[in-house]
Amino acid sequence: MFMQSYLKDFSIEQLNIRNLPNEIFIFFDECKKENLVNNIDVQTMAFGKRSHEAWWVAKHNGKIISITGAHKLPFLGNNAWRVLVRSATLPQYRGKAGPFGKSLSHEFTWGHMLKYQIEYCKEHNGKDFYFTTNKS
């Protein structure tokens, strides 16, 4: 029988992109090693390039293990927001947020950070939410 072990001691924090913590650069290095090409440095993340953007990270023992962002999508309307931007979780932590369920609560981005993004967007008149995926 397969038993999934979940992390019980992780935190979700909003990331201040104007004053990046040192841990984010360690996360970028790990993303490079894992070929998570959209998450390897400040330039690929494109911090500060989007309208009304905000970012969240999941941390375990002080280490950033997952990231995702949200930003306004003005070309789709005044209330349009893109969520789950540049989402990435280090492979050894995928599916470890727990518990497993249809709501994807076992994933850090979908199950735990998305609710903070939706709340943030709603505070800024967000009503329509979009997400995108990579082609491959």
pLDDT in the model for residue 3: 47
Say what the pLDDT of residue 134 is.
72
**pLDDT for the residue numbered 97:** 83
Positions of the chain with pLDDT lower than 70, given as ranges: 1-4, 99-105, 135-136
Q: Given strand 63-72, what is the order of strands in its sheet?
A: 10-15, 54-60, 63-72, 80-89, 128-130
Report the distance separating Cα 19 and Cα 36, nearest Å: 23
For the segment 42-70, what is each residue's pLDDT rounded down to a tens digit? 999 999 999 899 999 999 999 999 999 99
